Every structure is written in structure tokens, then in C-alpha cells.
Structure 1
Amino acid sequence: MPNRKIRLKTVKDLFDRCAEAAISERDALLASAEASPEELREVKRLLSFHDTVDVSAQQTHIIGQQLRTLSQSIPSGQQLGPFAIEEEIGHGGMGIVFRARRADGSYEQQVAIKVAPSFASAEELKHFHQERQILAKLQHPNIATLLDGGATDDNRPYLVMEYVSGKAIHEHCLTHKLPLKARLQLFIEVCKAVSYAHNHLIIHRDIKPENVLVNEQGQVKLLDFGIGKALQGEADRTNATALQGMTLAYASPEQIRGERTTMATDVYGLGALLYCLLTGRSPHGLGNNCAEQAVEAICRTETTPPSRIRVENGGIQDRKSLRGDLDNIVSKALRKEPERRYDSARDLQRDIERYLNREPVQATPSSLFYRAGRVLARHPVASGLAASVVVAINLGLAASLYLADQLRMERDSLLDAQREIKRQMYTAERTTALLTDMFEAASPARAQGRTVNVDQILEDGARKIRETLDNDPAVKSQLLKSLAQLNYNVGKYHEAATLQQEALQQLDTAALLPAGISATEAAHMRAELLIGLGRYQRESGAVNGAAAALEEAFTLLEQYPDKRLQAQALHRQGQLISRVGSPDDAIEVLNAAKGIWQQMPDQGGALGLANNHSLSNAYFNKPDFPMAAQTESAVLAERIKLLGESHPDTLNSYRFVARSYMRVGRWQEARELAQRAYQVSGKIFSTENKIFRHSAITYARLLGRLGDFQGAAEVLNPFLAGEVRELETTAELFHHRGYFNFHLGHVALARADLERAVKILGKIYPHNSDSTFLPRANLGEALAITGDVAAGIELINQVKQENIVQYGADDYGVASWNLRLARIALHEGKLEEARELNQLSHTINLKTFSHDHPIVLQNDETEMHIALAQNDKSKAIQICKRLIETYESIFPEDAPIIARHRQLLEQLTKSA
């Protein structure tokens, strides 16, 4: 029990000063200190201990064992709020936990109270409060529930949580001698809890047996989000800080190295937990205090498969039952490289469920014998009977039929190959002739002084194909398909879709089988055309047509399977869902495609990278910005190696990484990448090209975020000069230029641009698509500021309600719409309403972003303007100074927003 006459902060401050001073100066420091005799005695005792221990261990022993132990205890019976402390039940680097009972007589309730460490640093307190925010968001039967919170008399924050009466999961398995199946079923419940947290954009980062309890009813409870974090808006802590709170034996390689943590970190933690449940020990057999061994083992040494280690107390005794699938599942979860692990906790859970159902698991390489073995395991009796019949029949026929079959197969293969070579040679000859003719048309001799552009060349090529080859529709279809791809590459999406549909019509009228094309080949040709059509129609805005084309492709591929085409179809479907549906559904589809690509020797090559590129976009839309940045950075590195730095796909990756870096606060890197993508695209493409347009939009948005609205608008102006087609990219250009004009004060121009953007998007997307949320809300604000207040507020509230239905009331989009309503109220002079809406927006934003994120700083900007409207210049100056300091800490020093706020501060100071 601590001595209540000792003020612990006084002891620590005085101890620190004396420890840093020369021994001869200590008496003077102690004599001049404002400390009680008890406090002075405690400081002298600590100094005496300090002087006798090894220097390298001073901080650990003095602060860790002496001062913290003295400070953290709370006596039995002491009351925190309505709860009375009973006893300590656990402690660690992130706090100490007590069992307590409700003492106000309202009703009987036993709880667990977690109290922050004494002398907690600002960083530690931040993460303690972060844990409270995390737990408040998580309501799941397998996660301990947050009940209340408060602060002790010495201002240490505490959390009141559901008390779980039970044992750690590995101890529960040992006590009850659970068999393998029961352990795996418990593990599945842990995966469900972790997956639920990931769906709410939370990662745990300290999954270990002690943090997973099993209560008396056999229900799993996941505890202790003390070093957890939100997946967006919060930077990872330093390596030293993170290691302070985690258990090394179960830490992932990226945690040990101090790198960014993601959902893959929790997948590793689940893998380590599963290893313990199977073997009775941690993956590398480490204790909690072996830091040097942990770094070497976790980061460099491959984990021994569970079936090949000596059984520890509590492990599964039957090693054979762990061989094969379970070894592979654990190995995949514990990969050193995060990108090689399971994509999610849900995927790991599904593999365990497949194992229990005796189905093929994702972690084990597929083969005919493996799949057959799984079928036999699921249906042993039926398979045995069938096998005996087959063996009896085949023994009599095998010898006579084998030689004939081999000869027939070789003959057919030679004939098929011969036909295919002839057909491809003929198609290649016709393609070469067409391309030669097309480019000869652009020569000076043929042009005779006329300027021949790319559009004209493509139009002439389409005309010649349409007028010829009627007697060979299969070749005509292939040529139309090639020309469709050329049109797509230069940004002519409508033309590409039209040519692709004509290519499909040629296959419909073709007598393919007499031409030597099998039914399977014909189906694959048609499926490939349908997949391309789905892509071109999606780009041109015909989303319903795109969905129908892909659905027809899937139907064909069910009857005539082809792995590469199935992966392509899933990729295009994932892209479509990401635009008009749920990002989570898109991620699931794109991961399914990724799984197919990964089974191929080249991992799909450029097509596999394109799929991962789309996966990054889906993570961005989710929004899981760190995962989007991580995924696209890997794609960018591979595309530079495979395609070069100026390839259109590489430029797209530069842009994608830049926009993700903007979301996670890496502004200087984002600016360099976005500028490069914009400048190089401008040298290659016309203003109608989608890559150039998106690169310009990304670069303009970055300039706008840095405060250069004029520069941002000037980047976009060339794309909207003259007549422009109503494409999705056209709507985006109008939307963003309207936004920049609004902030430049050109509200009438802004309203016109925003109205046109919303009109175009209304033709492409359903009325409640999230792709229309931001343009419609910005239009609502412009309407209100230009006089149509009621219409503007109604439009924003409509968007807000649709956002709540799709993503919940705590989504950061809702915060954005509340902010716009607050600015409208401020413009109308309704200052109290403005303050309430802005505060509500701020509260929601902080659940997703950090205090210094530009999205949160918009709330501070609005608060400053409300203070100015109330003539509270002192408060406005205070907020302005804080904004300048924050902008200077996150943005490049030449960001216009910094100069503008410095100028505003000068004006406010002079007029104060």
C-alpha cells in the first residue's frame, strides 16, 4: 500500500534532478526542495539504490521496480466512482487491472477496472484514451465490454470493463484437456472477434493467450486493446514505445522492427496464438524478457512447424494430426512478410473451418491428389465403395486401353496444334496488314498535306475492318477486339465499348466449329470479349451494361472453366463493385482473384499487379488508408521493375500512392509523387485520357489541401475548355474545380460547376451511390451560400441520411456533412447552431483521424471563424496560432496555407 504522505510526482521530479546532478550537488538540491521529510527519505533511498546498480539497468530497476511499484497500488476498499476496489488481478506496461464491485447499492455488479500507469507520459496517456475510444466502438459477444470510465484522485484515467471470470485460453485448454477440434472451435471465436474489430477499423496489436479468456460458460472474451490503434489517422508509435506495451514472444516482425502495423499484424498474432494452442508454447519458444533473442528469432528464424517440435505441457499430443494442413495454416499466418500472410482474420478463420469440414484449405498448394484426399476424408464410406468398383473394372480394361488412349491423345494434340498455328498465323497476317495500312494513311505521301491525328487513324481502321472479312468472322472479331483496346488506351471508352460489342456480334454469327475452333475455345473467346466489354462499359459510365456483360462471362466460365479468365472476370467485377457497391464486398472479390493469380507461376504478371492495384483502390474506399498505401506501394515497386517508370500503369500507381499518402499525413512524398504523375502524363496523353485526368485531379487536390486553390483550379481548367463529353472523369473535374472556386470566393462559378458534376453523375450512378455524396454535399453548401438556403440544407441532410444508412452515424463522412451545415449556419449568423454542429463533426472526426489531420483542422478553422463572428478575437488568435504550429509540423514549409494563416494572425493581432 502506498504511503499517502508521499506525493509521487514530487518524488520522481526530485529524484530525476538529483540523479542527473553531481553527487556533491545533491545535498543542496534536497535542502532547497519543497518536499516533506517522508518524500526526502524516499528520494534518498532511491538514490542509494541508483548508485549501486549497473548503469545500463538504472532506468529499468529504479523507475520500473521501485517508483512504479510504489505508485500504482490501490488499497482494497478504495472507491473509484461507484465501484470499490477488491484486489489487483493483473498489470503490465499499459496499466494495472483491479477487480472491483459496485458499492452504491443500485444493484450487484462485479467489474474489472484498468488504471493508467503513474507518471504516464503524454504518449502513454494518449494510448490509454485511445483504448477507451476503441472499446466504446466495439460491441461483440467475444470482446470484453466497456462499461464506464473516470479518473483517480491523482488524475490517473481508468476504464471500467466487464469482468470476465475465467482462465486464459491456453490454461482453459490444459485444465479441461480439450481435444484438437474443441481448441480450433475456440480459436474460430477469437478470429470472429478480431475480424469484427477490423471491420470497425481497429487492430489489436497484442494478441496473446493471456489476452484471450474463456469464461465459465466456455465463451471466448478478447481483452486489452491497450496498444491497439485505429487503422486510419493514427501513426504507429516508435519501436521503443510499442515494445514497452507488447509481449515479445507474440509480437510480429513488423512490430519488432518498429514498422507500420496493419491487419496483417493481428493475423500474425492469431497465428502465434494458434501455435500455442497446438503446441503449448509460443512460436519461437521465447519468454517475455528475451528482447535480443526475440529480434533474431521473430525477424529472421523460420518457425518450426507445430507437428515437428517437442510437445509442451498443454499441447496436442498426437503430432500426426497437425501435419499437413494445420502446419501449412500456421506457417501462412506466421510469414515474416505481412503481404504473404492471410489477407484477413476472416480468411484465416475460413481455412480453419475448411480444415474442420475436411475441405481443401487455402494454405495447402492445390493438387489432384490433395483434392481427392479431401473428398475421401469427407465421404469415406461412399468413396471406399466407389473406389472398389472402379478398381475392379479398370484392372480388366487398363492394359488394353492405355496404349490406344496415348496414341489417340498424341494424334489429336498434333492436329489441334496444327489448326491453331494456321489460324493464329492468318490472324496475325491480317492484323499486320491492317496496322500497316492504318499507319501508311498518316504518311506525308498519303495525307497530301492534311493533318492526320490519332482519332482519324482509329476511325479509318474501324471502317476498313467493318467493310472487309465478312467471310471470316472469327478473324474479324479479333481485329475489332484489338482496335477496341487501342481506343481504350487513348481514352476513347465509348468507341472501345462499341467496337467490343461488334466483335461479340461477329462471334454470334460465326460458324466456329467447322473452322477448327472447339466449343471450349469459342466459349473462352466470347468470355474474354465479355470481360473486356464489362471494363469498357464501366469506364464509359454504362454500369448496368458492364454488370450484365460480366454476369454472362461468369456463366460461360462455369461451363468452360479457365483460371486466367476467371481471375480477370473477378478483377473487373471487383472494380465495378468498388465503384457502385460496398468496398468490403469489392475487397472480398478482388482477394478471390488475387488467390487465383497467386497460384500461377508468374503470379499473373501485369494482370496480377492490376488486380492488386484495384485492391488498393477498394481499401481506399473502405476507408483503410494505411492498407491502401501499403498495397499500392508494393504494386508501384513491381511495376517500375516490370514496366518502367513512364508506363501508364506505373503512372497510375504513382497517383494512387500519392493520394493514400495524403490521407496518412506523408505530404512531402505525396506532393513529389502526384506532381511526377501529372507532369509525365501531360507529356504522353491528351486531355481526354483518363490517366492524365485522374493525375491532374490528384495533383490539384493536393495543391488545394496545401491551400493553393488558385493553382489547383488552373491545373484543371485545360481539361474543361471547349466541348467536353459527359464522362465520369468530366464530372470529377467539374466537381473539384467547383470546390476550388468556392474556396476562392467565386461562388456563382462554383455552383455552376457543381450542378453540372451532379447532373453527369446522376446519369451514371444510382441516386444513393456514395460516389455522389461529396459532389452533392458541396453543391448543397454552394446553393445555401448563393441564396438557396433551404434547398442547400435539404440536399446535405439527404446525403447525410444516405451516408448513415450505408456506413453508420459515426462514419467520418457524416462529420463532413455536419461541418458543411455548421458553415452554412455561421454564414446565416446562427452561431450557437454552428458551434454545436461543428463540435459534433469534430467529435466524429476524432474517432477516425488524429488531432493534427487536415480534415480535423477544418473543424478548428470553423471554430476560429465562429469566434471572430462573436468578436472573441483573443480566442481566434489562440486558435490561429495553434493552426499555424500544426500546419508547420505536417505540411512542407512553402505550403500557401501556412503563409495565409500567418498573415491572418498578423491582422488579428494588430486589431486586437
Structure 2
Amino acid sequence: MITPVDDGEDAQATIGLAAGATTAGDAAVMAGARIGPYRLLSLLGRGGMGEVHVARQDEPVRRTVALKLLRARHLDTRRLVHFEIERQLLAQMRHPAIAQIFDAGTTADGRPYSAMELIDGLPVTAYCAGERLPLRERLKLFMRICEGVQHAHQKGVVHRDLKPGNILVAKIDGRALPKIIDFGIASITSGGSSDGGSGDALGTPVYMSPEQAASADDIDTRSDIYSLGVLLHELLCGHRPAAGGAHAFRPSARLAELPRAGQARIADAMGMGVADLRRVLERDLDWVVARATAPDRAQRYGSAMELVDDIGRFLDGRPLGAVPDSRRYRWGKFVRRNRGGLAVAAVVLLALLGGLAVSLYGLGQARSQQALAEERARQLETVSRFQRAMLGEIDIESMGLRLATSLRAQVERAAPGEKDALERVLAQVGTVDVARELVGGSILGRAEDAIGQDFADQPLLAADLRESVAEVRKSLGLYTSAAAGFGEVADLRARLLGPRAEPTLRARREQISQLLNGGRDQLREARAVIEGAGQEFAALAEDDPLRIGFEMHRVVSSTADDQHARRDGLHALLQQARRLLGERHPVALEIANYYAIALSRVGERTEAKALFEQLLPVHVEEFGELHPLTYSVRRNVAVARVQAGDFDGAVAMQGELVAGDVQQRGLEHPSTLASRGTLAAMLTDAGRAGEAVALALAVLDGNVRVLGPDHPQTLRSRVNAATIMARLQRYDEALAMQDEVIEARTRVFGPIHPDTLFMRINLPATLHQAGRTDEALASMATVLPTVRETLGDAHPTTQMAMDIRAMIARESGDLALEIRTLRELLAWRLAAPGQGDLKTAETAWLLAGALREAGQAAAEADALWETHVQPLLDAPVESLSPGHRRLADAIRREQAA
């Protein structure tokens, strides 16, 4: 639920603000009103700038949002600047700990609004109190908040109003997930303040840094560090620092000022005694709060990740950077971290004390050196983790988009006559791939060079750092270079640790995985690596996940040209993995995904759909709703539903995916546009072309502006729009769009490219629907031989061309052409995808009907019916896929007529 809290805030409107901030009468005035595509349901809160409403969006996706609307009487420049800054900043940021913006617009009377993620949660302090969160869990939650703040800082954004009311926490899948909201007074670090030049100190005084209180123009990211320190103080002792108190920023002192009953209540909520809590605060966490809230910002943590690192050190029992260094402090940490080992060491020491003084001295020296080495390794690991997180968040598609936009702007200025030539080049080259290669060569390549130079004397550490770089290459889709990186790591570890050591084999398996991701070009190398490493993996225990994962790669690599063999091999391996590891083990789930895809490729689409549907809730439970693996399974489920004829189910799933893409990437990110285009196509297949047309045209317009008119994704969206226009009988518009696509694809890809041929065989269908049947048949007669010669008879596009020709012949009364076409097509489909496929059954039924209507080959028609049609009609309804059920219903309707 969304609950009010008094956290000392001023009149800022936030998603977490109480409905009690206004009157019931005010809420009733707006209830039911429409703002753009949103219907207002209730007033969530009102502040100095505007109101926040709970609103409902019904299309193109159904969801409930928080709609923030600027008040009409506050449409002055300053507030408009704040409001627009918040919209732009949120659109740039994508982090699980930051509330996402979905949409933005302006009402008819000129009031700007933004639709945001509705957080069904509590202010962080209220959540911790209500859940009686233990100290360690509070600190872990605080670290996730800091990571969100760090993401904003990496984007150049200072929030300037971090406080409990602007950090809401919801429990999802049993895990506390924080969301930072209300960037309404945020500033761009390089662009000065966002107060419209007033110089007022916007924010909440008790959480505000001294420099922010003194001047809104003189702040940087360390102002947010101060606010985080105040928040940490509140999480540790249940109260904000006492204003003007002698120990304002020492949680232990603030706790001591409370009545005994209050101290006991706070400590008990964290699962501790009062004395234990005060001791922990005094020894470590007081220092963290004091450093974060130092009046002189130069003495604070330099970044949110430095604060996270110190909290992590506390949780790991290691010395903190904020605590003054001393031998006693470090020794105390060492003792508490190694109690068991020291107890054993004490016994050994007593036994050997008499004669091993020299040896013990040497051991002490060695331990000192080891401690220094361990400390440096931990520091390097922290740096590596931070760099990996930063590089992993690089949005290659957005980078490529900015590159294309920059090139267009430069050509527009320098040589406007070359605009069309540039678009043709961009369509063929792909700026996303250029950006990916630049990142891989310039940034990651230099990182690897530095590792080789700086850590030549620490080869194992160098291997770990190289593995981090390979992981980043993998996340960016640089599969070939990622495979090379993992291969180098595996070779190095094989020499140092042995070829059968677990770290060696883990890197080797990643090398194989990335080679397989690289497609057929890397298949030969993948097979060679698999053959060379076979003995090492075979030496592992039968139930070792690395061995089973390796066997999966062996099956996949050896069956690239035989999908049936791949299906059988993966099925056997899946049974083994589930027996030895359990159904929910990550390796078993990975094999199950591969197996479901193999089922789909051999035409067993009902079985594939059932398996994907089974895997989805497991992935949600194991990895969470937003995990990339979960998203991948969702996309597979949507596609499987379409293939099985379950169009309504596919639309529902794709709608969820679109909502997630908008939340994660924004409305007009290339990936989001592709996802929205898929939704429009699914709506059309589901018979809902009227709903699909507005979405399809919006996607087309977005692709033209974002990617350019000749980009392959733009052309695909134009094809989808043309298909919908034809369904709505707007044939002139549909034909004009199809001609544009054929011209562009011929110019960019060539006349026999599969994408060009696909469009050319769609054109006759539209011509026929427009009443131009003679032109349609002439066009098909021209293109069909080229399609067959180029793609082959088994290709889906070739078979679709035959479907279209048979349809035109049937509707124009040319039974001889229809029968000839269907006979040939049925022979192809019996070969692949096979007798049980939906398309095969449909083709047999149409051919039997055409033969009977022509009054010829009755025996052939009867045989087709008995072999392909009657089994479909006799099958139990519950055993049929949605597509097979619809076909059976159509056959029965025809019989009844």
C-alpha cells in the first residue's frame, strides 16, 4: 500500500505523498477525467508544484501508473523547468532502484504531465520498522539505494532531495526492492542548479547538506552523500539527527538520549540487545555516518560506491575506511573474523611455544605480507566490480543511435544533398555494430592491455580481471572477442591451477558458450575446443553442473544440421540434469530452454509452448521478474503462443513485455520500438486490426525518426503497417506502403535478398484483395520462380507464396491452378514440417475440398480426408492446440453449411 509519513519534508509532491494532503472534494473533481491515454482513478497526493494521481492506461498496454500533473496556476518558468528536468532525467536513467517514467505529454490546456511507475510500497524507514528488519538486512537495503544514487550520479544527476518519503520500498518475490522517486528538483552536475536561477535552497532542510542550504548553485554529488548519511543515521537508531545536538551525527549517542524503553524497542526490532547495538554503532557505523555527513564535503565519501564499499566491509567483518587506522582496530577485526582459526592456532602455539620463536617470527612476517596482498586484492576486486557494473550498463543501441543522429546532423550541415546516400549507408552498415566494435576495441582493449602490463607479476589476479572484461564483452554481444577472452583465462588458469581445476573449467565452458553464440562462423572452433577439453570435463563427477553444461554444448555443437537429433539429445540430457541437479538448477533450466527451442524448430509447437509456459513461473521465482533470463523466456512464450495459434495469449504476454521494455529503456528506444511493433503484429493476427493500426503507425513514425527511413527495423514496421491497412480494407494506403518497402529493400539489400522477396510475394495478395486479381497473378508468376530458386521449396517464405497463389486462384474461381498449387504445397509440407503440423492439415483439407468441387479425383480427396482431416475432427478438444481447434471448428462449420 502507499502510506503517508511525516519525514520533515516540505511541500514537494511525491509518489509516496499521502492522499490526506488534500481534501476529498478536490479528489472527486478529477476522478474519472482523462489525461491523454490515461483515466484518473484517485488523487494520490498534492504538493507545491502539482498533483500525483493514480491513473489507468488501457492501450496499447494495460497498466496502472502514477500520473504527475503540474497545476495550472503554477505554470511559471521555474516550475516548468523543474517538471521538465524531472521528465528528462528519469527518461535517461534505467536502474532497478529508480522509479521509471513511461510517458510524458501536455494536456489540452497546456499543463505538462508525466506517467511514472506506480510504487506499491512504503517509505524506507516505515518499511524497516514495519518489517522489523535486522541490522544486516537494513544495511543491504541501504546499499541497494546507494547503487541507485550512484547510477544517477553516473548520468550526471544530483537528486538534491533524498529522504525516506522519496525512497519507497516494496516487497517483490519476498525481496525488499527500493525505488528512488521525485527528481523534481534534481540538477545536472554540469549544468548548474534547476531552480530557475532563483538561488533558493530547494529540498528538505533536515536532510540537506550545508552547502545546499547555503546556495543552490554550489552543490555536487557529495550533497546527496550527505543526505544518504542522514538517512543511514535514521535507519540505525530510528531517529533523525537531533537538530543542534552535540552528537547530531553519531547514531549511538542519539540512541543513548532516548528513554530506556525506546532504546529497547529499536534494538529489539533489529534482533539485538541495546548494549550490542550501541557497541556496533560506536565501533564502526558511527564513523560511517560521521564521514558521510561531514560539514566539509571534501571530507565525505567521494561517491556512493565508496559508501557502499565501507558498508560491505562492515558486513564482511573487514576494517572500514572511515574508522581511524590503528593496530588495535585492525587486530580486533581480524580476531572477530577468524575466531575459529585463531582458537586452533592458540593450541598449536602453546604446543610449540618453547622451540619455535624464530619460525613464529617468520610466520608473522609472512602473515603481514599476506594481509597486504589480500587487502590489495580486495581493493582491486572492488575496482573491478565497479568498472564491470559501469561497463555492463552501456546501452550500445542508444550509443549507435546517437552516432547515427550525429552523422545525420553533420551531413545536414555540410552536404545536405548527400542525405539519401547517408541513409543507404546507415541501413547497410548499422551504427549499433560500429558502436559495439568501438567499445570493444577502444575501451575494453585498453583495459586488457593495462592488465597485461600492471599485473604481469600476479598472473592469477590478472586472469580474474581478464575474466571481468570478457564478461562485459559477453553482455555487449561481442561474442567472438568474449570467447577469445575466456579462452585466454582458461589457458592461463590451466598452467597455474591445472586443466581440471574448477576455475579453469568454468572459464573453458564460457569460451565454448560464446563461440556457439557466435553462430555458424564459430562452430568449427567450438567443436575443436569441445574435443580438446572433453577429457577434463569427463573427469568430473557425474552430477557436477560444469560437466552437464559441457555435455549440453557438445549436443548443440554436434547437431547444428539436424534439429531432430538435437531435440533427442537435449531431451535425454534434460532428464539426466533434472535427476542429478533438480528441475530448478540453473543448468537444468538452461538445457530446458534449448530443448523447448529445438521442439519448436522441428514443428512440435504445442509441446514447445507447454514447456515454455512451465519454465516461466520457475524463472520468475528463481531469478525475479526483471532478470534478463526471465525476459528471454517471456519472449519465447509469446512466440510459442503465436506459433500454436494462441493469439490472445500471445498478445497478453507481449503486452507485458512492452510494458517492461518501456519501463527499462523508454518509449522510443530501438528495442522498445521493435517490441511494440511485434505487439501490433500480434494484435493483427488476433483479429484486432482496429486496435493495432494506431500502435503500428506510432511505431513506424518512431522508427523513422529514431533509426532513419531505410533502416531494416523501420522497413519491417512499414510492412506491419501495410498488413494492417490491408486487413482494414484501406488498400490504396497498403499498396503504397508495400511499394515503398520493395523499392527501399531492392535499393539497400538487392532484388533477391530474402527480405526483398518476402515483400514481393506479399504484394500479390494485397492486389487481389483490392480487386486487381489479374495483376496479382501476373506479379506472382513473375516472382515465384525467383523465390523457389533463391530460397528453396522448404523455406517458409516459399510456402507462404504458394498459400497466397492458392488463395487467389480459389477466390477467383481458377480451380485448376488451386489444385495444382495445393498438391505441390502439400508434398513440401509432408516433408517438413510433417503430417501433424497445423499448416499441413489445413493444406490437405483445402486440397480435398478443391478436388470435390472440381468433380475429379474423388479417391484422392477421400484419402486426404481420412489421413489428415478426420483424425483432427476425432481428437479430444482438450488435446488440440488453439490453432488446431480453430481449424477443426472451421471444418465443422463448412460441413454444417
TM norm structure 1: 0.37
TM norm structure 2: 0.37
